[in-house]
Structure 1
Amino acid sequence: MSGTSEGPTPAADLDGSAVTESDSTASPRTAWAYRSVFDAAPLAMAVVDREGLVVGANDQLGELLGIAPEALAGRVAADLVDLASDARSWHAYREILRGRQAKLRCTRRIKNPDGQSFWAQVMVAPLPQDGPGVVLLSVADISGHRELQARLRHLQMHDPVTRLPNRTLFFERLTAALEAEAYEQGGTGRIGLCYLDLDGFKAVNDTLGHRVGDRLLAAVAGRLTRCAEEAGAGRVSAPLVARLGGDEFALLVEDSTGTEQLADLAESVLTAIQAPFDIVGRRLSVSASIGVVERQAAGTTATGLMQAADTTLYWAKADGKSRWTLFDPERNAHRMTRQALVSTLRPAIERGEFTLEYQPLVCMEDGRLRGVEALVRWNHPQFGVLTPNRFIGLAEEDGSIVPLGRWVLATACRQARRWQLDHPEEPPIFVSVNVAVRQVWDSDLVADVAEILTETDLEPDLLQLELTESAVMGSAGRPLQALQALSDMGVHIAIDDFGTGYSNLAYLSRLPVSVLKLDGSFVRGFQYEGEGVPPNPADEVVVEAMIELAHRLGLTVTAECVETSAQAARLRRIGCDTGQGWLYSRPVPPDRISGLLEVRV
């Protein structure tokens, strides 16, 4: 030990006297050693002590805040630049004063005593040489930069043609409106959307040019804005009007009060758009189709809302245009189901999801089973067992009816041959298979039938192909040639649902048809006897006339939808050959048909 006591390290003050760190005024006085630099700096600055009070400020800060520099001394620095207005900045600032954080940078809108305000970038950093807690506060006026940013953002977020918010800003607002904080702090908690496009705008654009088209879009935007302002009168805010692109617009209603409010808005938009426009001396008329969606904001996503709106707009156009349509969950569920079925039809054939059931065709004279109609079922993994009316139309649209029809034909023929082999003592029964016209056009049906009959070893006269009356009527070229070739092969051709189409019996003599299947509506027209309702003689006269004519042409007649013994008795009395319906059996699996072969149905 040298004998001298250890103590705080001295530092030079501005006037040359020694001070120590234990002196509470040491740090501020040390900072003033750089007074000339501090005063000359172009940046507005202040030195703040560990208590958060201003020790000194330069002229630039005084000028920026509108307060004399000497008057700033002793003021609470955080109050001057509004640091306590958000919790994160306030916490960081206090940590810097405690010497636990390096720096803080934030942006604040500061108001001068004269009421003028400006945007400032505030930076707080420690002055290490002055001990922990002493900091340098600097303030930069960034109002010009912010204004430029705002102008650029406005350009980025607004459509240059209509000056409306564009798609980007619309989705920004929509996403914000669907955040929980937006609807949990008050309001209705609901949201609504009118999504529209213009009917007839493309014709204007194509014939008169984009210049006229742009002016028309701007005029439409003006009318939509007025509709929104009128709808927002007396409310907290008006609907947001945006151009999403092309001739598509949207009106977003936050805190919707229900479908009635959206319906009123959509109706006012329709009326406003339908009025003629005067564009560069031309009188132009367009209309709008509008999809309307209104629902709880909770659980709704921007994507989900727009998908629903887009679907509903499609409905409005499909229903005839120039109208608004409200989103219907049931209709949407049907559409989604339809899409799901279309997308899985072809893979379902490959996966073996289809099965056949068979409905008996019974001789009216002796009640014996003469044949069966093969009816396809789809064992869908999501929707359960689907009957043909749910998917055959879709299969015809996308062409998958060709491979599906080929599978049905092969399976039915194979099963008919199996029954024949299992019951050699009984007369063989025929199998009737429905054929779509597209199968005739898009495949070589004749070759397919010939190949399948050969593979299954089934006689051609044990196969009957059913086509609808509308499909057979007017057949020419390839369809007629195919039907004739099949008939020549020995395959029976039946007209299904006869009487619902053209009902022109003259064409029967020109087609290779051997069977007429009377549509069930004729049979249902026979009133049920014994229920106090007298039968309508006209029904029987019409059916009897068709049966008699068919017989004269050498055709047999099958009646569909026979449900009671009274109906069967009347049909037998007027000469009907075969009956099909629930009186005899519902469609059943193949093994059930085996049990019917040895008995009268």
Structure 2
Amino acid sequence: MSGTSEGPAPAADLIGPAVTESNEGSSSRTGPHDRPVSDPDATPSSFRSAFDAAPLAMAVVDREGLVTGANPALGDLLGSSPQALAGAVAADLVDLTSDARTWHAYREVLRGRQARLRCTRRLKHPDGHCLWVQVAIAPLPAAERGGVLLSVADISARRELQARLRHLQNHDPVTRLPNRTLFFERLSAALEAEAYEEGTGRIGLCYLDLDGFKAINDTLGHRVGDRLLAAVAERLTRCADEAGYARASTPLVARLGGDEFALLVEDSTGTEQVADLAESVLGALQAPFDISGRRLSVSASIGVVERHAAGTSPTALMQAADTTLYWAKADGKDRWTLFDPERNAHRMTRQALASTLRPAIERGEFVLEYQPLVGMEDGRLRGVEALVRWDHPQFGLLTPNRFIGLAEEDGSIVPLGRWVLATACRQARGWQLAHPDEPPLFVSVNVAVRQVWDSDLVADVAQTLAETGLAPHLLQLELTESAVMGSGGRPQQALQALSDMGVRIAIDDFGTGYSNLAYLSRLPVSVLKLDGSFVKGFQYDGEGIAPNPADEVVVEAMIQLAHRLGLTVTAECVETSAQASRLRRIGCDTGQGWLYSRPVTADRISELLRSPRGQAAVGKS
């Protein structure tokens, strides 16, 4: 032994340099300054004293794997005496044979083919308790008869502390359920190929949110709210335990944050199993909770997803569950809803359209088509309704029902409405100039109520008419019945100003809302457009008998009353000549529908105006 310090050599001198190898070991060799250590019985008394007094449990093991000497610390750790350990198989003492990888590395060290080995083992003490140890094995120099030095450090306290810290990190302190971190660890592990290759290969998830919890939390305080969450967690755990009875595994219950919980079903047997679990959760939450002397009630909205694990990622599964939870809430709460790929595709398309709507207006992706409005008496073209289409680069030509609602929600209906108004008026003026010998066509443009509130519609119309040169009486603005009836203030003032300007105001889809004809006398309305549902009642069967004559009576009464109020009437959705004949007989003024023409391009309207028979040829389009 070299060195100048007095007293026994430290344990590090007996072991050698610090070990950095993993369980696989490494190819590093003992350095030139390593202290030689051999059989304690064959070493000087100073080494023997240091070996026996060392707090680190150690033993010298020969090339055959037998203990040739052990210190008292190892005896105490293993519940034996150093003498009793002599001759024992070292690998059995510290469980080096439990896995093939470690056992192979240990034999390589004994044979001198591997520098050293370090591993962690769980041992059972003779008195019954278990302990965690870190085992290190380093070779002894051949000059000292070879063999290896075995050292064993008790790390049980450290492991227990790490376990407690991990439990705190991965469990919710309020409910003691696994938290979001642990939930995603389990979910990610369940979606790895090795986890489902031998099972059903399916996975299920119930993602729930408590209905009414926020009100309780806000009014009674977070302390009561936390107790309620803990009580809910107990019921969810009970549901999971019952669902896991006699099955391979019990669903994992986790609190993801706030009042959101998840129940993960690994190795699911199908949709029915996960749906049954969701149903049991709803039933478990029906009974009131007794919290701090109060009886509190909450329900849950649950999104249910069940699918093949292959090809599914944690992100995709949670997105589907979150979407389905939203559906459950939107459908009325206190229910579970199953994920529907078709409904989700529609939602994704809707989101894609909403995100690109405003830029599409700027890029000029919208076009107009025009549907003829025909005089019932002579069948001649009187006007056209401008219908906007979105020529989407991905989804093709989209009709208004696909995007007008989105435009009204985000306010882009205002710039879109301005573009439609200007384009339609410019086109109507173009037809008038191109066919000066024909009565000019009026153009009808749909207006959303938000256009009245969020913009100066009167100024927009005035500016458009001035720029295009179109006469005001050749412009008709259509508003829905529900938007006009009962509205006062700014909308009514705007309609009056537009009417005073000479613009015609039409009520679209009349008969589906208030149907208050008396109220119409106080509004500046000049045209009623009967909803197509009334006209469909005019259908005739093969024998020429009307299936629902009551519809004709109602429509005739509305037309007569409208005429008494000075209004004209347009019938929508006219599809057969029989319908047209009956509408003509009861006095309807104009008609619109596929009998006359589908919506067509502006060029097609121009062709109709140039036809030999004039505008009467519209019915052949």
Give 1:379 deviation, angstroms. 1.8
User: Any conservation in 1 of the 2:40–2:69 contact (CA below 8 Å)?
Assistant: no
Q: CA deviation at 1:367?
A: 1.8
Equivalent residue, structure 2, for 1:546: 558
> Residue 458 in 1 paired to residue 466 in 2?
no
> Does structure 1 retain, via aligned residues, the 8 Å contact 2:371–2:598?
yes
The equivalent residue for 1:385 is 397
Q: Which amino acid aligns with 1:492?
A: R
2:169 to 156, 160, 166: 156
- Are 2:509 and 1:497 aligned? yes
Question: SS at the partner of 1:466?
Answer: strand
Q: Distance in 1 between matches of 2:433 and 2:42?
A: 112
Matches within 5 A, 1:38-53: 38-50=51-63, 52-53=65-66
The one-letter code sitting in structure 1 at the alignment partner of 2:50 is V
The alpha-carbon deviation at position 479 of structure 1 amounts to 1.0
Q: Name the CA shift for 1:162/1:27 in 2 (closer, same or farther; >3 Å).
A: closer
The TM-score normalised by the length of structure 2 is: 0.87
| Cα deviation code 1:555-592 (max 9, x no counterpart) | 22111101111111221222222111111111111111
Q: Distance between the aligned counterparts of 2:422 and 2:104, measured in 1? A: 79
1:18 aligns with: none
Report the AA paired with residue 174 of structure 1: L
Name the SS for the 1:382 alignment partner.
Answer: coil
Report the 3-state secondary structure (helix = DSSP H, G, I; strand = E; otherwise coil) of the residue aligned with 2:188: helix
Matched, 1:364 2:386: no
Residue 573 and residue 64 in structure 1: after superposition, are their counterparts in 2 closer, same or farther (change >3 A)? same
Displacement after TM superposition at 1:552 (Å): 2.6
Query: Aligned runs of 1:420-569 on 2, under 5 Å?
Result: 420-528=432-540, 530-531=542-543, 533-569=545-581
2:259 matched residue in structure 1 = 247
Aligned to 2:324: 312
Distance (whole Å) between structure 2 residues aligned to residue 434 and residue 582 of structure 1: 19
For 1:563 and 1:347, how far apart are their aligned partners in 2? Answer: 37
Q: Structure 2 CA distance, aligned partners of 1:73 and 1:416?
A: 109
Matches within 5 A, 1:48-87: 48-50=61-63, 52-70=65-83, 72-73=85-86, 75-86=88-99
1:355-409 deviation line (CA, Å, top 9, x unaligned): 1111111122222211111111112233222111111111111111101111111
2:189 to 167, 176, 186: 176
- Residue of structure 1 aligned with 2:118, choices 100, 105, 109: 105
Pairing partner for 2:406 from 376, 394, 401: 394
Q: How far does the alpha carbon of each residue in 1:64-102 deviate from its partner, in whole angstroms, 9 at most, with x for none?
A: 234544554555544432334445544544554555654
- Write the mapping of 1:119-268 to structure 2, written as runs, cut at 5 A: 119-128=132-141, 130=143, 134-184=147-197, 186-268=198-280
Match of 2:285, SS state, is helix
- 2:366 corresponds to: 354
TM-score, scaled to structure 1: 0.89
The residue type paired with residue 589 of structure 1 is T
* CA distance in 2 between partners of 1:89 and 1:192 (Å): 37
2:589 counterpart letter in structure 1: D
Distance 2:544 2:414 in 1: 49
Residues 452 and 93 of structure 1, relative CA distance in 2, 3 Å threshold: farther
SS in 1 for 2:597: coil
State the alpha-carbon separation in 1 of the partners of residues 228 and 555 from structure 2: 62
Letter in 2 for 1:206: D
State the 1:450 CA deviation: 1.3
Q: Deviations over 1:202-223 (max 9, x none)?
A: 3332333322222222222222
C-alpha distance in structure 1 between counterparts of 2:341 and 2:284, whole Å: 28
CA distance in 1, matches of 2:42, 2:570: 111
Structure 1 letter corresponding to 2:534:
F
Indicate conservation of the 8 Å contact 1:97/1:133, yes or no.
Answer: no
Give the corresponding residue for 2:48.
35
Would you say the 8 A contact 1:98–1:133 is kept in 2?
no
1:145/1:536 CA distance change after superposition, 3 Å: closer
After TM superposition, the structure 1 stretch with the greater mean CA deviation from structure 2, 263-272 or 109-118, is: 109-118
Q: Does 1:590 align with 2:602?
A: yes
Contact kept? 1:99, 1:132, Cα under 8 Å: no
Could you report, residue by residue, the CA deviation over 1:88-139 in whole angstroms, capped at 9, with x for unpaired residues?
5445445545556544332111234665431111122334575897432211
% identity of equivalent residues: 85
Structure 2 SS opposite 1:428? coil
Distance in 1, matches of 2:276 and 2:145, equals 65
Distance in 2 between residues matched to 1:59 and 1:84, nearest whole Å: 24
Deviation, structure 1 residue 199? 2.2
Structure 1 position 441, deviation (Å):
0.6
Describe the shift of the 1:111–1:32 C-alpha distance in structure 2 as closer, same or farther (beyond 3 A): farther
Would the aligned equivalents of 1:96 and 1:133 in 2 still touch at CA under 8 Å? no
Tell me if 1:374 matches 2:403.
Answer: no
The separation in 2 between residues aligned to 1:406 and 1:30, in whole angstroms, is: 102
Give the letter for the 1:164 counterpart.
Answer: L
- Paired AA for residue 428 in structure 1: P
The change in CA–CA distance for 1:529 and 1:152 in structure 2 (over 3 A counts) is closer
Distance 1:360 1:87, change over 3 A: farther
Q: 1:337 to 1:129 in 2, by over 3 A?
A: same
572-581 or 423-432: bigger deviation: 423-432
Distance 1:365 1:133 in 2: 118
CA deviation vs aligned residue, 1:246-274 (integer Å, no higher than 9, x gap)? 22222222112222222222222222211
Using the alignment, how far apart are the partners of 1:417 and 1:94 within structure 2? Answer: 97
In 2, are the aligned partners of 1:28 and 1:130 still within 8 Å (CA)? no
**Secondary structure of 1:150's aligned partner:** helix
Q: Give 3-state SS (helix, strand or coil) of 1:510's partner.
A: coil
3-state SS of paired residue (2:521): helix
Shift in Å, 1:30: 10
Residue 526 of structure 2 aligns to which amino acid in structure 1?
S
Residue in structure 2 matched with residue 321 of structure 1 by the alignment? 333
Partner letter of residue 544 of structure 1?
E
Q: 1:344 aligns with which of 356, 372, 380?
A: 356
Provide the C-alpha distance between the structure 2 equivalents of 1:446 and 1:413, rounded to a whole number of angstroms.
15
Matching residue of 1:576 = 588
Secondary structure of the residue aligned to 1:414 is helix
> C-alpha root-mean-square deviation of aligned residues, in Å?
2.5
Q: Work out the CA distance in 1 between the residues paired with 2:549 and 2:503.
A: 36
SS of the residue 2:247 aligns to: coil
Instruction: Give the whole-Å Cα distance in 2 for the aligned partners of 1:207 and 1:77.
Output: 66
* CA distance, structure 2, for counterparts of residue 94 and residue 163 of structure 1: 45
Tell me if the contact between 2:41 and 2:48 (Cα under 8 Å) persists in the aligned partners.
Answer: no
Residues 562, 148 of structure 1: CA spacing in aligned structure 2 closer, same or farther, 3 A cutoff?
same
The number of residues matched between the two structures is 575
Query: Deviation above 6 Å: which 4+ runs of structure 1?
Result: none
Cα distance between partner residues in 1 of 2:260 and 2:437: 72
- Structure-2 change in CA distance of 1:351 and 1:32 (3 Å): farther
Deviation at 1:440, TM superposition (A): 0.6
2:11 alignment counterpart: none
